[in-house]
Amino acid sequence: MSESGLNKRLAQIVGAENVSTESVDLLCYSRDASENVGMPDIVVWPNNTSQVSEIMKLANELKITVTPRGAGTCLSGGPIPTKGGILLVMTRMNKILEIDIANLQVLVECGVVWQDLNNALTPYKLFLPPDPASKDACTIGGCMAECSGGVRAVKYGTFRDWALGLQVVLPNGEIIETGAKTRKGVSGYDLTRLFIGSEGTLGVITRARLRIFPLPRCRLVMSAYFDSMESAGKAIFRVMTSDLIPSAAELMDKQTVEAVSKFMNMKFPECIALAIFEFDGSSLGEVKRRIRQARKLCEREKATRVDVSETVEESDRLWRARKSAGPALATLKPSSMHEDATVPTSRIPEMLTRIEQVAQKHNVLIPTFGHVGDGNLHPIILYDERNQDEKKRAKAATADIFRAAIELGGTLSGEHGIGLSKAPFFSMEHSSPETEVMRKIKNAIDPNNILNPGKIWAGA
């Protein structure tokens, strides 16, 4: 079918105002927050599930590729339409359909923005715990497709742990409902979890039913400074294996602390590592008791200084500092790659050493921070994309970091997904029979390989 013929058919489905082939639009939809680029042939904004279903039927019939996209905050190239075709932007499906307080769950359309959902829950003193840093922008659909996490994953888990069921449009246009409204359910295969983390390669998620949780009445933050990575690592290990259950356990290395200090104009004590813990609970007394215990554990591991934020403002200030880590580091060089290699928590100190060695070997800056409580580090590889040699070294360093994570028994991605960026390394982590099982699943659901091809494993 000619491009204008396709344009017309799509316009019949969603309305002409929800289709664009203007080159400026195509260009602006060719990027996400990663280094990848790929131009769609046509951008389509569906408004409801039946439109998505019609679009998929048409695409399947014509064998045109379709790439789903939420807010495009992905850090691994997932929503980049490498093979052109239709870019399906889900952001206009953004209604919160149900807030079911009695059963502590919500039903939302996939284009709802994380922060909008939580704003709607706050008056009921409820919240959706997994909290990606991109929450002001990212959509629930994107979070499902990437199985996103955040700083509180250490206590509350990732999106996978909060999903009860999904409405999914399959590549052939059929609409299915996975899961159940109940908290428990073992009726058949767990299709919900099959689609979660599938990076838009198996189906288009149109709705999600999610569990929600009572907002903890109080949260306090503690920061502990160390003069060696080793003692920071030990202190974190002690806190994580105690019964104190922090709701966040983060680490920033010296370079990160310095960059944040400059960027946010905040003073921090001299240190090699800064660990930030958050504790939440229903009473201040009880949270304070846990913080006192955690302080003792850190002091026992030779923390040079421990501060407890007494007020919400102080806690917010520290979180703002932590959340500015990526951007603060990004000011050091024009370009950056934000990785999320994850290792078992006990291997964190080794992983930090390996990252340092990689940085030296390739002569690039790789400051590191991250969710140490769950082993999820964010090494930031800094470079100037206008300098070809430095760009090459940065890429080589990234590959070495992945290798190190796998060798330490970890995974390529804790929360950002494989997408395009990590597809060349997929076989480092997965044996060919494993990949073959995944391929077979993909083939069974999407025999024409039209849905987000080229992602997750190389050559797909």
Partner 1 sequence: MGIKLPEELEIEVYRCFRCGYCRAQCPVFKVKQNESWGARGRMILIKSLIEGNIDATSAVVDRLYCCSLCKACETSCPALVRTSDVYERVRESLVEQKQAPLDKHRSIAEKILAEGNPFGLPRAERLSSYQHKNPSSAEVLYFVGCVPSYRRPSIVRSVEKILAAAGVEYTALGAQELCCGSVLMRTGQTPTVKKLAQQNTKRFKELGVKKIVTVCPGCYLTLKVDYPKFVEDFPFEVVHISDFINQLLQSGKLKLTKQVGLKVTFHDPCHLGRRFNIYEPPRNVLLSIPGLKLVEMPHNRENSQCCGAGGGVRAAFSDVTSKIGVSRMEEAAQTKADLLVTSCPFCCLNLDEAGRQAQLLPVSDLTEIVAEAL
Ligand X SMILES: Cc1cc2nc3c(=O)[nH]c(=O)nc-3n(C[C@H](O)[C@H](O)[C@H](O)COP(=O)(O)OP(=O)(O)OC[C@H]3O[C@@H](n4cnc5c(N)ncnc54)[C@H](O)[C@@H]3O)c2cc1C
Q: State in angstroms the smallest separation of the CB of 304 from ligand X.
A: 28
Which of 132/246 has CB closer to partner 1? 132
User: How many residues touch partner 1 (CB under 8 A)?
Assistant: 36
Binder among 45, 195, 383, 457 for partner 1 (CB under 8 A):
45
Say how far apart CA 146 and CA 455 lie, in whole Å.
12
Residue 146 within binding range of ligand X, rule CB under 6 A: yes
Residue 133 within binding range of ligand X, rule CB under 6 A: yes
Instruction: Tell me how far CA of residue 328 lies from CA of 34, 259, 316, 323, in angstroms.
Output: 17, 6, 17, 9
Contact present, 340 and 375 (Cβ < 8 Å)? no
Instruction: Tell me how far CA of residue 51 lies from CA of 97, 186, 225, 278, 449, in angstroms.
Output: 18, 31, 54, 44, 20
Residue 205 within binding range of ligand X, rule CB under 6 A: yes
Residue 1 within binding range of partner 1, rule CB under 8 A: no
DSSP string, 272-308: SEEEEEEEEES-HHHHHHHHHHHHHHHHHTT-SEEEE
Among positions 23-42, residues that touch partner 1 (CB under 8 A) are 23-25, 27-33
Say how far apart CA 217 and CA 308 lie, in whole Å.
17
Which among 148, 160, 78, 119 is positioned nearest to 371, based on CA atoms? Answer: 148
Q: Of ligand X, partner 1, none, which one sits near residue 415, judging by CB under 5 to 8 A according to partner kind?
A: ligand X
Residue 90 within binding range of ligand X, rule CB under 6 A: yes
Please calculate the CA angle 26-27-28 and round it to the nearest 5 degrees.
95
Choices 63-71, 249-257, 399-407, 420-428 (CB under 6 A): range interacting with ligand X: 63-71
Residue 65 within binding range of ligand X, rule CB under 6 A: no
Q: Of ligand X, partner 1, none, which one sits near residue 277, judging by CB under 5 to 8 A according to partner kind?
A: none
Q: State in angstroms the smallest separation of the CB of 171 from ligand X.
A: 11
**3-class DSSP state of 224:** strand
**3-class DSSP state of 139:** strand
Choices 69-77, 95-103, 234-242, 275-283 (CB under 8 A): range interacting with partner 1: 69-77
Residue 16 within binding range of partner 1, rule CB under 8 A: no
Handedness of CA 136, 178, 182, 156 (dihedral sign): negative
Q: Of partner 1, ligand X, none, which one sits near residue 416, judging by CB under 5 to 8 A according to partner kind?
A: ligand X
Residue 73 within binding range of ligand X, rule CB under 6 A: yes
Q: Of ligand X, partner 1, none, which one sits near residue 331, judging by CB under 5 to 8 A according to partner kind?
A: partner 1
Say how far apart CA 384 and CA 399 lie, in whole Å.
18
Residue 268 within binding range of partner 1, rule CB under 8 A: no
Radius of gyration of the chain (CA): 22
Binder among 46, 81, 85, 142 for ligand X (CB under 6 A):
142
Q: Are strands 273-281 and 218-226 parallel, antiparallel or unpaired?
A: antiparallel
Q: Which residues make up the interface to partner 1 (CB under 8 A)?
A: 20, 22-25, 27-33, 45, 71-73, 91-92, 113, 115, 134, 136-138, 263, 323-324, 326-327, 330-331, 334-336, 385-386
Q: Which residues make up the interface to ligand X (CB under 6 A)?
A: 32-33, 67-75, 78-79, 90, 110, 132-134, 138-139, 141-143, 145-146, 148-150, 199-200, 204-205, 326, 415-416, 452
